[in-house]
A and B are shown apart, each in its own frame.
Chain A
Amino acid sequence: MFGNPVLKKELLLRMRFRQGKAAQIGALIGIVLLIGLFHYYVLAWMLNDRNPLTGQAVWSIVIGLQYLLICLIAPVITANAITQEKEQQTWEMLVFTRLLPKQIIVGKLIARLVPIALIILLGLPLAAICALYSRQIGGHAADFVSVGHFLAVYLLMAATGFFLATFGLFASWLLKRTLYAIMASYTFSVGLLLLGTTLITTMISALVGDNGNFFLKCPLMWFNPAVLMFWAAGTPNSSEQLSMVVGIAGYIGLSLLMIWRMIAGFRRFAYQ
């Protein structure tokens, strides 16, 4: 995978910091300080409170923030991956090389997933401390964040990031302009996944005269990222856990389907 020229080029272009050494060190110190301060204040709050529920509350806030960031960044981070090549007139030269379609698609996708991975990794220690602290202090068993729960939350985060980023890339592959690809990505993630599923489910609930149970049980909501995180951040019951599994599997399955479509349709696309 690391021999993929597209991946290497994308990482090189995206990670390059052309300012001088001093600016590089300054930026690094700034980032470390910011993250350090955030960790410090969160931990200080939690330690002073000494309440198992606080640990879980902080855990919920940390993963909520991470998830929000991923949902905001993922659709846009890949939306220019191919349209930018078309706009700056490098696409034709790229497809004319002997690179395989899967090298181009996968290389671009993986390179652009790096910031999402960083968001997950940067919040991971704090989330882990919160979860462990919650267990350490004790309290009701239901308030604990188990290892399985912890892993499931991060699996949901990774799957959502992967799904939204893949959709952004798919829009970039399909459309000619970055602006249109970004609009399509956000329309899909916010308009359809978040608001669309909620509105449709609400309408169906109203029509069937539901007392509130249907809303969360409707399969459409299993693909709503906000609902999935709402379940994950709390203590999901077995029905919600099953819905989460279906949601995560759906995200991964749809992502793989889009990747397959891009690769399979690539040659025909280049010939059009």
Chain B
Amino acid sequence: MPPMIEIKHLRKEYKELVAVKDLCLELDKGDIFGFIGPNGAGKTTTIKMIATLLMPSAGTVIVDGIDVVRNPEQIRSIVGYMPDFFGVYDDIKVWEYLDFFAAAYRIPKGQRPQIIDDVLALTDLTIKKDSYVESLSRGMKQRLCLAKTLVHDPKVMLLDEPASGLDPRARIEIRELLLELQSMGKTIIVSSHILPEMEEFCNKIGIIERGELIVAGDVNTIARQVRGQHTIEIGVIEEMERAEAILLGMTDVLREVKVTTGMREAPNSPDEPGRRAMTLQRVERSGRGGVIQIGYVGVIDEEYKVLAALVQAGIKVRSFNAPETDLEDVFLRVTKGQVA
């Protein structure tokens, strides 16, 4: 199946400044791609080029088989775009706002009421249908903008910082909405600075810095590429030392073995009396069971062999899982904090 979005050697120059350099990317249907990068890295420029709002200096962008430069009108019928900063019209009701955009996307008049009801239900704004847009909270306006982005049922959604400036509850609502959209088969490109949230709903990420896409792909694969290993946590009921010894012997597939049986707070610093110290230190040993963290560098499909070795040696394994990827760690490792 051809990719839903295919970007080849995309470049954008503003006189001396090169905002995007040779960006290549492929996304499949149903992907949620997290576009990560510092301010000024080129995220918005890239999104605007996909959205036909900026002309690329070089390269091609193909969305669902359609070239964005050659057929911008067609692209606009299959792409939904939510800018990072957006406003709303005053003196207009929520349904009128959506009706205007539905009409602007050439949706027949007879179909509009049902579509408006559907997108309002999806974004949980049904109750606000007859409210004036300016009376909505920031989070509701954000959801209204998403609803507006959905009126023409786009296959691809480009969301530039959709959760910026929102309170935690509103951010969770946006996240759940994105997951629901993914389940509807939409391909979503979402840029954000809030990395922990990106981990939760993106199956692919790309890190961009100074206009260059440094890494892109599956979240776990990237984490493995960046760290050079794949972290696995093994919960052991007892015989921690023997389990550790077995793992230390598997030097061909394991890079590091760390025993992390628990945490305790470090004492207050003597030169800062009264200030609660936030540093946590590992406890070296706790006698019986605990957790061992390993850095697996072998073939992904053969991770089970590590588990098999422990079980065959009679070690009582309670759990064997990969902890959630720390996207912030990955981000900090690959970027240098530079802008284009």
Q: Which residues of A contact B (CB under 8 A)?
A: 5-6, 8-9, 12-13, 16, 18, 88-90, 92-99, 267, 270-272
Q: Is the CB of A93 within 8 A of B148?
A: yes
A89 to B160, CA, bound (A): 14
For B91-121 the 0/1 string (1 means CB < 8 A from A) is: 1100010001101111000000000000000
Q: Is the CB of B92 within 8 A of A98?
A: no
Cβ of B105: which chain A residues have Cβ within 8 Å of it? 97-98
A94 to B103, CA, bound (A): 11
Q: When A and B form their complex, which 8 residue pairs have the shortest distance between CB atoms, in order from nearest?
A: A97-B104, A5-B103, A88-B87, A89-B87, A271-B55, A9-B100, A99-B104, A90-B87
Binds A, one of B75-83, B166-174, B176-184, B255-263: B75-83
Q: Is the CB of B104 within 8 A of A92?
A: no
Cβ of A9: which chain B residues have Cβ within 8 Å of it? 89, 92, 96, 100
Chain A min CB distance to B80 (Å): 9
Cβ of A94: which chain B residues have Cβ within 8 Å of it? 104
Q: Is the CB of B81 within 8 A of A96?
A: yes
Q: Is the CB of B88 within 8 A of A90?
A: yes
User: Which single member of A12, A95, A267, A272 contacts B92 (CB below 8 Å)?
Assistant: A12
User: Which single member of B53, B90, B96 contacts A271 (CB below 8 Å)?
Assistant: B53
Inter-chain pairs besides A5-B104, A96-B76, 8 sampled, C-beta below 8 Å: A6-B104, A13-B90, A16-B91, A89-B85, A90-B87, A95-B53, A96-B51, A271-B55
For this complex, 20 residue pairs linking A to B, each with C-beta atoms less than 8 Å apart, are A5-B100, A5-B103, A6-B104, A8-B100, A13-B92, A16-B91, A18-B91, A18-B132, A88-B88, A88-B89, A93-B81, A93-B83, A93-B101, A93-B148, A95-B53, A96-B76, A97-B104, A98-B76, A98-B105, A270-B53
Interface hub of A12, A16, A18, A96 (most chain B Cβ within 10 A):
A96
Chain A min CB distance to B273 (Å): 50
Q: CB of B54 within 8 A of chain A?
A: yes
Q: CB of B86 within 8 A of chain A?
A: yes
Q: Is the CB of A90 within 8 A of B86?
A: yes
A271 to B152, CA, bound (A): 22
Using C-beta atoms within 8 Å of the partner chain, give the interface range for chain B.
Answer: 20 to 34
Cβ of A99: which chain B residues have Cβ within 8 Å of it? 104
Q: For residue A5, which residue of chain B has the nearest CB?
A: B103
Cβ of B100: which chain A residues have Cβ within 8 Å of it? 5, 8-9
**Total A-B pairs, Cβ < 8 A:** 66
Whether A89 touches B89, Cβ cut-off 8 Å, given contacts A9-B100, A271-B55, is no
Q: Is the CB of B76 within 8 A of A97?
A: yes
Q: Is the CB of B76 within 8 A of A93?
A: no
Q: CB of B271 within 8 A of chain A?
A: no
For B66-81 the 0/1 string (1 means CB < 8 A from A) is: 0000001100110001
Q: For residue A86, which residue of chain B has the nearest CB?
A: B87
Cβ of B73: which chain A residues have Cβ within 8 Å of it? 98
A270 to B49, CA, bound (A): 11
A6 to B77, CA, bound (A): 18
A5 to B99, CA, bound (A): 9
Q: For residue A17, which residue of chain B has the nearest CB?
A: B91
Chain A min CB distance to B160 (Å): 10
Q: For residue B152, which residue of chain A has the nearest CB?
A: A98
A99 to B95, CA, bound (A): 19
Chain B min CB distance to A198 (Å): 40
Q: For residue B85, which residue of chain A has the nearest CB?
A: A89
Cβ of B92: which chain A residues have Cβ within 8 Å of it? 9, 12-13
Chain A min CB distance to B166 (Å): 17
Cβ of B81: which chain A residues have Cβ within 8 Å of it? 92-93, 96
For B189-209 the 0/1 string (1 means CB < 8 A from A) is: 000000000000000000000
Q: For residue B77, which residue of chain A has the nearest CB?
A: A98
A13 to B93, CA, bound (A): 10
Cβ of B55: which chain A residues have Cβ within 8 Å of it? 271-272
Q: Is the CB of B89 within 8 A of A90?
A: yes
Cβ of B83: which chain A residues have Cβ within 8 Å of it? 89, 92-93
Interface hub of A18, A267, A271, A272 (most chain B Cβ within 10 A):
A271
Q: Is the CB of A97 within 8 A of B101?
A: yes
A13 to B106, CA, bound (A): 20
Q: Is the CB of B91 within 8 A of A13?
A: yes
Cβ of A12: which chain B residues have Cβ within 8 Å of it? 92, 96
Interface hub of A13, A95, A97 (most chain B Cβ within 10 A):
A97
Chain A min CB distance to B152 (Å): 8
Cβ of B52: which chain A residues have Cβ within 8 Å of it? 96, 271
Q: For residue B51, which residue of chain A has the nearest CB?
A: A96
